[in-house]
Amino acid sequence: MRHYGYTIALAILKHRNPVRIYAPISLLYLLYTLLLPLSIYVSHQFFNAYYIPLLPYGVIMVLALAVFIENVRKAKTARSLLVFVLVPLHPLMYGIGIVNKFLGLGNR
């Protein structure tokens, strides 16, 4: 997935606009994940509720549950449990690939 993000970043640089809508969304998701510890701290200090920044991840887990149910219906294997890991990691790896290209780190 990182390599795919890297090649999408090449296309963005070539055409000077986002090729797909999920490229900027993946970057925002990556930024949100990196800032999550800080946002949990701030939320806990000012609102006494550490769970508020975790609400988007709850939505992602509901999406993962829907994908899991669909996958179990079709595949009927234990590998369907990987959905709970892959759904949150997919946009992160995609965003990391884009950032690698933009920062000139290459496709590592």
Residues of the domain holding 53: 2-102
Residue entry with tokens 């290459």: 106
Is 98 among the domain residues?
Answer: yes
Half-sphere CA count of 44, side-chain side, radius 13 A = 9
5 contacts 76 by C-beta, under 8 angstroms: no
Is 8 among the domain residues?
Answer: yes
How far, in Å, CA of 51 to CA of 80, rounded? 28
Please give the pLDDT value at position 106: 65
Is 59 among the domain residues?
Answer: yes
How far, in Å, CA of 94 to CA of 99, rounded? 9
- pTM of the full predicted structure? 0.75
> ∠ CA 8-2-9 to the nearest 5 degrees?
20
Is 108 among the domain residues?
Answer: no
Number of domains in the chain: 1
Is 88 among the domain residues?
Answer: yes
Is 107 among the domain residues?
Answer: no
Query: Helices H, strands E: what count in the chain?
Result: 5, 0
pLDDT digits (tens, 9 = 90+) for 6-17: 777 777 778 777
Please give the pLDDT value at position 108: 54
Whose CA is closest to 100, among 2, 1, 32?
Answer: 2
* Residues in the chain, pLDDT under 50: none
